Amino acid sequence: MESPSEIADVPVRKPARHGFLPIVTNWFDRLFIGIYLFVALELFWMRFLEQSIPLAVCHVLAIALGVLIVWKG
């Protein structure tokens, strides 16, 4: 039978976080993905949509997408 000190030496593992991203990530990974998508969306918007829709709309959408990825991703 194991003594209490041997049981205490077993490392406790946190359960893997499961979000909508298809990879296992920590908060920094999700932040990096959010920033990367922010820049990509801004460039896409400036190239194709800025003539008809203001860039401020893109800022709001990109920030909302980044928050969603960091929070739920």
Q: Does 48 fall in a domain?
A: yes
Report CA-CA distances (Å) from 51 to 36, 39, 42, 47, 55. Answer: 23, 18, 13, 9, 9
So what's the pLDDT on residue 73? 85
Q: Does 6 fall in a domain?
A: no
User: Would you place residue 1 in the very low, low, confident or very high pLDDT band (cuts 50, 70, 90)?
Assistant: low
Q: Does 68 fall in a domain?
A: yes
So what's the pLDDT on residue 51? 93
What digits encode the pLDDT tens for the residues 19-64? 888 889 999 999 999 999 999 999 999 999 999 999 999 999 999 9
Report CA-CA distances (Å) from 3 to 8, 11, 12, 49, 50. Answer: 9, 16, 17, 67, 68
> Distance between CA atoms of 68 and 34, rounded to whole angstroms?
9
- Provide the number of structural domains found in the chain: 1
Q: Which range of residues forms the domain containing residue 57?
A: 26-73
